[in-house]
Amino acid sequence: MSGRIIAVWGGSNSGKTTFAVNLACALSTSDRLVGLISSNLTHGDLQVFFGQSVPPQKGLFHALNEDNPNIGEKFTEYAESKNLFFLSAPTHYTGLLCDTVTLREAERMMNAAAFVFDILIVDGAAEATNPISGVGLWLADRIYTLHKPSIAAQMWHEGVSDFVRELHIAEKQIHILQLPNGEFDDKTYRSMMGLPFAYDLPYVKRAGELENAGTPIYFFHDRTCRRYGKVLEQIAKGICGGEAS
């Protein structure tokens, strides 16, 4: 039986990768085997968040391009958790392969990975044309869509509306609001969007510092990070228990 596929989506700078990484951390503490896939085809970003390196013989393009691979061997184990593995472009990578990725390759890879992991998280891209992201959204059981209040976020949401309609994924979306740091009023954004926000994520001032240090927010225990972690635990409980959000 294959595992559940969860997609994380949002516009540029919406905090989706931060959310995907830390949701994976929260899920990995519940004795689930968790796989996290990056849709970034030009830069290996997940290893920055985890403070590790992806060797050339592992990573996203080996998983995509090999026939019937032992897909689990292409993931990198997170050193701090025996249950969490991530798939990203290798740390030293030229980007020459990124234009060769097909939807068929992406679908085959994700279906294979879903048989290895209890929960597979796909960190999506803002661009609707990204093949990893698009297949992840199509196959996902749930799509957590991140919003960082701004005019740009509203424009992104409007810009992908036809894509959402054509893929029939609106009913799978669960909208999450990143509480702003005084840059844009969240009440105004809620009114502008008219969306049901299932969760509010607190603003974490130290997020960038922690990410650059390879320390996931979920495992850092100052007050704000604990508040962020509590929201993740609620979401993880819903995923593991199959509860409606």
Which pLDDT belongs to residue 242? 56
Strands (E), 33-111: 34-38, 76-77, 84-87
Which pLDDT belongs to residue 244? 41
State how far the Cα of 79 lies from the Cα of 233, in Å rounded to an integer.
21
List domains and CATH numbers for the chain: 4-241 (3.40.50.300)
**Residue ranges in the chain whose pLDDT is less than 70:** 1-2, 68, 93-99, 242-245
Q: At what angle do helices 151-159 and 186-193 cross, to 10 degrees?
A: 20
State how far the Cα of 26 lies from the Cα of 219, in Å rounded to an integer.
9
Count CA atoms within 13 Å of residue 174 on its CB side: 17
Cross-strand bridge partners of residue 173:
143
State how far the Cα of 4 lies from the Cα of 9, in Å rounded to an integer.
16
Which pLDDT belongs to residue 94? 63
Which pLDDT belongs to residue 97? 61
Which pLDDT belongs to residue 54? 93
